[in-house]
Amino acid sequence: MIATIIRQNRINFRFFKNSPSSLCNSHVVFSQFLLHFSTSVTASEISPLKHRSSPASSVRNPKKPDLVISFLKQAGFSKTQVEKLVKTYPQLHSANLENTIKPKIKIFKDLGFSSNDAVAIISHDPWILKQSLNKKIIPSLSTLKRLLGSNEQVAKLLKRYGGFLKTNLDNNMVQNVEILKNCGVDMKQIIPAIYRFPMFILRKPELVKKLVDKADEMGVSRSSRMFYHAVRILSCMTEDTWKLRVRAFRELGFSEKDVEATFRNSPLVLGVSETKIKEVKEVLLATGKYKMSCIVKDPISLMYSVEKRYKPRIRVLEILESRNVIVRWPCLSVLCRVSEKDFFEKFVGPYLDHVGDVYVASARKGDAKQIEDE
């Protein structure tokens, strides 16, 4: 009887070994089997199973997952954070606690990071625990601190994106920083880029060099603060995406030279999506006060929020005009660029009885829409 069950479980284990989705069940089934027959089955009878399938080896230490979880909780990870770690990194249960998990958490403390920062960083990207301590984690932390200046700044960065600890920074980020510096880009621009656009700064240096050459070909001056923005915007686009973007601008009335001039002077404008271009165009033309030529003359107008900037201001101006308070609308650059404070003082404050409630309601609606979009 026992021999028959053992043979059946050998078959089951061969199946489970080749079926990852059933692996967890195989642990349970086989563990229960060993418990039930532990007094009857000899070591020689079960040893073939132990060698045939690696999952069975975990039976030797059934408390190992509990030890890992207990250590994480003692290290400051909350229940929710531990659940995320296990969900993202299922192999955590079978990881070597002493040689794999503990050293990678301890190194943060050894290098001067607070326990809270270490927990937050690892919780944000559990795959950090899979990285080599000596080849990636330690060198990357050292490089980031040297570049950013403090553990606080490194922690701030890694809480946003842990990918900096999953790569050899000497092979990408360090080289890219030097490429940009050699192009005249100031570190005051490079440091914020590391926080805001980590995928850009971690690109292959060979690609960044090609993007620099492309920006040069398009006439962007290296002495301009726009040079960095030009390179980064180009990094976000494939050749097809660039063609679609240029076509969208041409449909607005931009000539080829207009597009090139816009890219040289305000490269971020070329980062505006086709959807956003359409939304801005429609809301401005619908007023009857602005034409396509206004947008061509002031392409930066395409970068402002439809919900938070254009609609509240346009609504105020419509009411003021309908009540004969104003005769002429401001030019497009004033409509979009003037600060919130200046717009309020000129068009809202003096006419609170007319537009106060409408302006506040429109602005709040824009805030709510932005939160929904995020």
Quickly list DSSP for 113-171. Answer: --HHHHHHHHHH-GGGGGS-IIIIIHHHHHHHHHHH-SHHHHHHHHHH-GGGGSS-GGG
pLDDT in the model for residue 365: 60
Please write the tens of the pLDDT for every residue from 33-84: 334 333 333 343 333 333 344 443 333 454 556 888 999 999 999 999 999 9
- Domain assignments of the chain as residue spans, ordered by start: 2-62, 63-163, 272-373
* Average confidence (pLDDT) over 137-166: 95
Cβ 93 vs Cβ 133: under 8 Å: no
What architecture does CATH give domain 63-163? Alpha Horseshoe (1.25)
Q: Is the pLDDT of residue 302 over 80?
A: yes
**Residues 97, 67 contacting (CB under 8 angstroms):** yes
Please say whether the beta carbons of 226 and 267 come within 8 A. yes
> What is the Cα–Cα distance from 61 to 308, expressed in whole angstroms?
59
Give the position of tokens 């920062």. Answer: 117
Residues 174-187, mean pLDDT to the nearest whole number: 96
> Directed axis angle between helix 64-74 and helix 79-88, to 10°?
130
Residue 374 has a pLDDT of 32
Please determine, for residue 169, whether its predicted confidence score (pLDDT) is greater than 70: yes
Give 315-332 pLDDT, tens digit per residue.
999 999 999 999 999 999
Helix (H) or strand (E) holding 209: helix 205-217
Percentage of the residues of the chain whose pLDDT score is greater than 70: 79
pLDDT at 25: 43
Average pLDDT over residues 334-347: 94
pLDDT tens, 2-27?
344 434 444 443 433 444 444 344 44
pLDDT computed for residue 361 by the predictor: 73
